[in-house]
Structure 1
Amino acid sequence: MRMSVDIGGTFTDLVVEDGTGLSLYKAPTVPSDPVQGILDVLGTAATARDVPLAELLGKVGAFVHATTRGLNAVLTGNAARTAFLTTAGHPDVLLLREGGRQDAFDFTVPFPEPYVPRALTFEVTERITSTGEVLTALDLDALERTCDQLVAADVEAIAVCLLWSTVNPEHELAVGEVLDRRLPGVPHTLSHALNPSLREYRRASSAAIDASLKPLMSDYFSALTERLRDAGLRGRILMVTSAGGVIDAADAVARPILTINSGPSMAPVAGRAYALADTGSDDVIVADAGGTTYDVTLVRRGEIPSTRSAWVGDVGTGHMTGLPSIDVKSVGSGGGSIAWVDEGGLLHVGPQSAGSVPGPACYGRGGRSATVTDAALVLGYLDADGFSSGAMTLDAEAAVVAVKTSVADVLGIDVIEAADAILQLTTEQMVRAIEEITVGQGIDPAKAVLIGGGGAAGLNAHAVAERLGCRTLVVPAVGAALAAAGALMSDLTAIYSATAPTITSSFAIERVDAALAELVEQGREFARKAGVAPEEATIALFAEARYPQQIWELEVPLRVTAFAGPDDVADLAEDFHRTHLEILGITDPASPVEIVSWGARVTVRLEEANHQVGALPRGSAEITRRRAFVPGRGITDVPVVPLAAMEPGRPVRGPLLVEAPFTTVVVAGDAQCRIGESGSLVIETETDRPEKED
């Protein structure tokens, strides 16, 4: 048996995989104690299976966990009090950053503060050149005095980023040894070991963020492990990474920044698998609608996009992680997003969220603001007595009052119109997010399959598909916990980097081959630590390359593990030209190619992992009817079809409501619904994409 848990802003999701298939469970997230939320949902599963919790956990071979604990700490400024040590003369590396205002002419946006304030930034007397030579020796006496200042400042973590430590880490290693001796128990991060990037700001930022999270995440992982062990878990504990894989909990403690975007990273993994299983398509738009955010990713030709430009907070003014991460676009449109009207009479939805405490008004926990969930209940889309698979009873009257007070009375319209307006605006925000990653990159979303995941996805996934012109929408049976399901499909992964700049016109074969050999060895060592033979690891080497004078690099897979001669170099150049043409639309075959860094993506398959999609157990249920809103018809009787009651090979047509575990799929238009190969709901829209009015 395996389990995966994803802690969201509103609910904590649990997916259990055993010999009978998959089972889904949800419990409200406990913001003040996330581990308690995990124990609560585990208790829900044990109760549903009619076994003691200790007995259930005793059968678990692997427990996979995704968390936003680190992300929230950075966003809220609740990470550790961190000092930053850098080469003398360069104290402003975190201030003179990358990024900028999204609107260049919006001067109301202040210049962002550095992640570590100047008061906790200390200069280290030393200097290494770009060739690795020691220009200025490390002043150990001055470093001892700096340590006195660090003790006096009562710092809780330390980040070290010295110039050109990626070429020669001698000084950074020496600084680390001194810190271990002078400040025992205070964790530190050395930039060359965490992120050997050529870009100074990214390397410094990643080191600072990682160090600042070590005390918090160490305590969190320790508490998680201890409480799960006390509850009866004996299996392996794995953590989801931002790059779309999993690592052992001990590795997550050593490098907590790897988990900072772990929550959204798994949905694309599951979405890709379900799209392939149910439609055969490998061009997929994966949308995960939770209680707080709507996360979207574009998968092209089966490749999940990755980026090193992941930001914590607002793009350009937040803080860059500088490490590979699944490229996910997030907007504040979820089930708990609050609807409000501004002073000018304009309706907004989000980005504020009611979260799990107090939650939407219909939860009956003290919430008064109208949310997307309240609007859906007013429109009849949700079953007040059977919400969240019967785990909660919703207060329909409270939802009506919230929508009426917050929106309807302010706009001078009736409650149904107001609720419909909230859902329509939410749909438009979701459409804009998808258009940004598709149309914005010259890609027609109508040619892709849309995956609707997350507990709130069903409310307007079909409406989003219609607006985009997507012919096929797939709502996985496990869609309400899509990210958690994706965690069960993942392998142990690691990404390593090496700085060995060169250019194809004068290629440094010996230096490059040495760097590649070191990357391969790091991959093999990763496999050994994972408990498998090194030859069982999959090591994919790549180059980060550009044309001379370009600012940004493109990732190009390598055909070889070592360059034997000019032919191999020519192959690399050819691959780069083709990649540049494909991504940017132009190429310059006559130009040499500059390689900035090299990397290795290592994958170790878990023996217990199931790389195929899982299906929920089938069952029987009755088709009922409910009064619900249908555009153009108003409130009318609508068939309510349980997903478990749909028979393979017998499609049904909308408008209707399909009740899947923990979500309701609203099919308001004329569409055909059927059961896919994986047991998912496949909705095929026959109408053309509507034309936008001038």
Structure 2
Amino acid sequence: MGLRFAVDTGGTFTDLVVAAENGVLTMHKASTTPADPVAGVIDSLRLAAESVSETLADYLGRGEMLVHGTTHAINAIVTGATARTAFLTTEGHPDTLVFREGGRMEPFNFTIPYTEPYIPKALTFEVPERITVTGKIKKPLDETAVIAILDKLKVENVEAIGVCCLWSIVNPAHELAIGRLIEKHLPGVPYTLSHRINPSLREYRRASSTVIDASLKPVMGAYMRGLDQRLKEAGFNGRVLVVTSQGGVMDAEQVAETPVHLINSGPSMAPVAAFAYGAGAEAETLIVGDTGGTTFDVSLVRKGRIPRSRETWLGQPFRSHMTGMPSVDVKSIGAGGGSIAWVDAGGLLHVGPKSAGAVPGPVCYRRGGTRPTVTDAALVLGFLDADFFLGGKMSLDRDGAFEAIRRDVAEPIGKSVEDAAAAIMELATEHMVQAIMDITVNQGIDPTAAAFVAGGGAAGLNCVAIGRRLGCRRVVVPETGAGLSASGALISDLKSHYQAMFHTRSDEFDHAGLNAVLTQLEAQCTDFAKGPGAGASAVAIDWSTEARYVDQAWEIEVPLKNSRIEGDGDLDVFVGDFHATHQDIFAVSDPGAPVETVSWNAEIRCRIGSAEPGRLAPKSGSSLLASRRVRFMNAGWHEVEVHRFEALPEGAGIAGPAIIESDFTSIVIDPGARAVRDRSGSLIIDIIQ
């Protein structure tokens, strides 16, 4: 077995976790290069090679596998760098992307303009055809009209095409015919057919995922080809995998054909890592916070499962566009180490959502940044050691940070610089807590009964403060927490998701029809296991259905205990599980009411790496470093001991106030908290409320 690499490209840093042949992990961080993300990937690999005194080519030549988490897809959408895309849909239904599902965040706020459709009306074309809900062809496809439309697309210099016909999920004949015409008349132009990418019932979600996928194909295809080529030029000849929104990985070539799966690529891995490292939390629910330089991402692990959602928005709910694809349920806000602190005209302090990012970065990075950030505040408060940032590879400018906070925050709000720095940290913490509330309390989850798993390079600055504010009893910081998403990618499974629509009711259940659908889904999973999953050490299929009470507006995802529903006994188990899941989510259920299903899902997981999280190589010698003065947010200045994370022996306990530092993070142990290192290497922090 060769070296295995996992790279997560964030807004500020590119994280790399390497598993050596003996299973020992090493971590490395390089600055992200927004204009050329692959350069940051290569830079991180070069740092890893230098750490073992090898050339990059020799080091990569020992590589077996590289897993890449990327924000390139979402960045392309946000910056408008997607392909010029056309939308072809059934005649009489050109406004699917305009009307969407009719929701609004503030229904009576008419000052907010209605969101423009993802594809403009000028590039929306109606195709003469119609298939009914039963799959019957009511109006045959007018191929002459389709060819005329394609001729227009050629004149319009369209670069990609999304096709979503009404009820193609029941009978895809017309979409398939349109696909063949595109290949014949516009060869080389990528296209997406809705029944293939997202065979779901809801028309807007299916159409939206189709056009988003099509619009990303040229840019993500070029990115993946460029990544593969540059890795080969650098000396890597192993397998290149990419993290998907579903919390798994896929081969780069395959995911380039379905790039909509990459939109939440990076954040989806944090809960995978948290589940692996979170045994010491001793809690049924894990709240996972991943604090980077630009964003704070929150996700959950509940009863051993990572919740997923199809309501993934590319921005604010209802004011942006929905992907319509199953994705790890992640809440992201603009709050991280690089979040800029500023004071408005009314004298009110704000932190974020704008970030200094990798360029120019916080003031203390000495890279041209002029506006104070959360990292600058942490340096002024003593949370960070100016001479030991990134393990001493980078020296921070405390005087510059102090002056920026004085000028832009302290003087405008009439506070001392130290008080202003504490206010910045407190406000950033509150933003993060509110994001956690949105994904917990709003879904019926009591955060006081959960544990908080802190990841990301900036996580340690306020993880104890967040845990205390939430009422959590315990905070967990994995030893690879500074690269939480990358470490999750290293142990993730090769996954593929398959879906089929099949409507039936529990009071008149169609066993034969459903089991035929499930057999078809299982065959697709088997083909995947024999293809991309060949050689896997373990293979498993997770089954679920989207179901609801009869005439209910929205369905919920219910895990299935069996791969078939053969008789009344299996049906009773499924119906009971539905009622229990509905009760768990909405705190209400109706056990006497019939249940109807909408669609059925099969997700195959192929184990291609180690199922167990690795360990970093321990540091020898004493864990105690020099002490320093630290200003705690609610406890003033203290002279505290500073400990080396990697040198802490298993079972070693440290009472706050204290600081625990590694090469990549600084963990603030507030007064009243106590930290112990467990068998997995994680830091378990108990909080006295």
Cα displacement (A) at 1:674: 1.4
**Counterpart contact for 1:20–1:617, Cα < 8 Å:** no
Moved more, 559-568 or 18-27: 559-568
1:453 aligns with 2:451: no
Q: What stretches of structure 1 move > 6 A for 4+ residues in a row?
A: none
**Counterpart contact for 2:391–2:663, Cα < 8 Å:** yes
Q: Distance in 1 between matches of 2:208 and 2:391?
A: 43
SS in 1 for 2:133: coil
Q: Distance in 2 between matches of 1:417 and 1:541?
A: 53
Aligned to 1:322: 324
- Extract unaligned runs of 5+ from structure 1: 689-694
Aligned to 1:613: 613
Matching residue within 665, 668, 671 for 1:669 = 671
Q: Distance in 2 between matches of 1:99 and 1:141?
A: 34
Matching residue within 160, 163, 177 for 2:163 = 160
Q: Distance in 2 between matches of 1:588 and 1:628?
A: 55
Matching residue within 680, 683, 688 for 1:681 = 683
Moved more, 395-404 or 614-623: 614-623
Q: Distance in 2 between matches of 1:674 and 1:558?
A: 38
Code of the residue aligned with 1:293 in structure 2: it is T
1:133 aligns with 2:136: yes
Code of the residue aligned with 1:446 in structure 2: it is T
Code of the residue aligned with 1:275 in structure 2: it is G
Q: Distance in 2 between matches of 1:410 and 1:555?
A: 50
Matching residue within 433, 438, 441 for 2:440 = 438
Deviations 1:518-570 (A, max 9, x none): 11111111111124279963122222110111111112233443343444333
Matching residue within 224, 227, 239 for 1:224 = 227
Closer/same/farther in 2, CA of residues 359 and 600 from structure 1, 3 Å limit: same
Aligned to 1:182: 185
SS in 1 for 2:435: helix
Aligned to 1:593: 595
Cα displacement (A) at 1:581: 2.1
Matching residue within 476, 488, 492 for 1:486 = 488
Matching residue within 111, 122, 134 for 1:119 = 122
Cα displacement (A) at 1:632: 5.7
Closer/same/farther in 2, CA of residues 615 and 373 from structure 1, 3 Å limit: same
Moved more, 2-11 or 424-433: 424-433
Q: Distance in 1 between matches of 2:239 and 2:477?
A: 30
Deviations 1:275-309 (A, max 9, x none): 11x23434211111000111111222111110111
**Counterpart contact for 1:247–1:492, Cα < 8 Å:** yes
Q: Distance in 2 between matches of 1:633 and 1:440?
A: 31
Q: Distance in 1 between matches of 2:493 and 2:431?
A: 33
1:197 aligns with 2:200: yes
Q: Distance in 1 between matches of 2:61 and 2:446?
A: 48
Question: Could you tell me the percent identity over the aligned residues?
Answer: 51
**Counterpart contact for 2:15–2:30, Cα < 8 Å:** yes
Q: Distance in 1 between matches of 2:466 and 2:102?
A: 31
Closer/same/farther in 2, CA of residues 14 and 564 from structure 1, 3 Å limit: same
Code of the residue aligned with 2:231 in structure 1: it is L
Cα displacement (A) at 1:68: 0.6
Matching residue within 71, 82, 103 for 1:79 = 82
Q: Distance in 2 between matches of 1:326 and 1:531?
A: 22
**Counterpart contact for 2:651–2:678, Cα < 8 Å:** no
Q: Distance in 2 between matches of 1:572 and 1:20?
A: 41
Q: Distance in 1 between matches of 2:570 and 2:655?
A: 56
Cα displacement (A) at 1:40: 0.8
SS in 2 for 1:505: coil
1:524 aligns with 2:555: no
Aligned to 2:8: 6
Deviations 1:326-381 (A, max 9, x none): 00111111000000111111111000000000011111111111100000111111
Code of the residue aligned with 2:419 in structure 1: it is E
Code of the residue aligned with 2:454 in structure 1: it is G
Q: Distance in 2 between matches of 1:392 and 1:475?
A: 23
SS in 1 for 2:289: strand
SS in 1 for 2:82: coil
Moved more, 467-476 or 507-516: 507-516
- Extract unaligned runs of 5+ from structure 2: none
TM-score, structure 2 as length reference: 0.97
SS in 1 for 2:360: coil
Aligned to 2:356: 354
Matching residue within 52, 55, 64 for 2:55 = 52
Aligned to 1:30: 33
SS in 2 for 1:647: coil
Cα displacement (A) at 1:497: 0.7
Cα displacement (A) at 1:99: 5.6
Q: Distance in 2 between matches of 1:536 and 1:653?
A: 42
Cα displacement (A) at 1:397: 1.4
**Counterpart contact for 1:82–1:120, Cα < 8 Å:** yes
Moved more, 492-501 or 529-538: 529-538
Aligned to 1:399: 401
After superposition, residues 26-425 of structure 1 pair within 5 angstroms as: 26-98=29-101, 100-276=103-279, 278-425=280-427
Code of the residue aligned with 1:345 in structure 2: it is G
**Counterpart contact for 1:477–1:661, Cα < 8 Å:** no
Code of the residue aligned with 2:65 in structure 1: it is A
Q: Distance in 2 between matches of 1:478 and 1:534?
A: 25
SS in 2 for 1:311: coil
Cα displacement (A) at 1:49: 1.4
Closer/same/farther in 2, CA of residues 76 and 306 from structure 1, 3 Å limit: same
Deviations 1:51-94 (A, max 9, x none): 11111111111100000100111112211000000000000000
**Counterpart contact for 1:642–1:659, Cα < 8 Å:** yes
Moved more, 66-75 or 384-393: 384-393
Q: Distance in 2 between matches of 1:343 and 1:6?
A: 38
Closer/same/farther in 2, CA of residues 167 and 536 from structure 1, 3 Å limit: farther
Q: Distance in 1 between matches of 2:497 and 2:196?
A: 12
Cα displacement (A) at 1:203: 0.4
Closer/same/farther in 2, CA of residues 413 and 43 from structure 1, 3 Å limit: same
**Counterpart contact for 1:523–1:537, Cα < 8 Å:** no
Closer/same/farther in 2, CA of residues 533 and 628 from structure 1, 3 Å limit: closer
Matching residue within 649, 654, 657 for 2:651 = 649
**Counterpart contact for 2:461–2:668, Cα < 8 Å:** yes
SS in 2 for 1:394: coil
Q: Distance in 2 between matches of 1:572 and 1:302?
A: 19
**Counterpart contact for 1:623–1:645, Cα < 8 Å:** no
Q: Distance in 2 between matches of 1:631 and 1:539?
A: 48
**Counterpart contact for 1:389–1:661, Cα < 8 Å:** yes
SS in 2 for 1:544: strand
Moved more, 342-351 or 584-593: 584-593
Deviations 1:10-34 (A, max 9, x none): 0000000111511110011000000
Cα displacement (A) at 1:636: 3.9
**Counterpart contact for 1:545–1:595, Cα < 8 Å:** yes
Moved more, 241-250 or 529-538: 529-538
SS in 2 for 1:623: strand
Cα displacement (A) at 1:317: 1.4
**Counterpart contact for 1:275–1:282, Cα < 8 Å:** no
Moved more, 258-267 or 627-636: 627-636
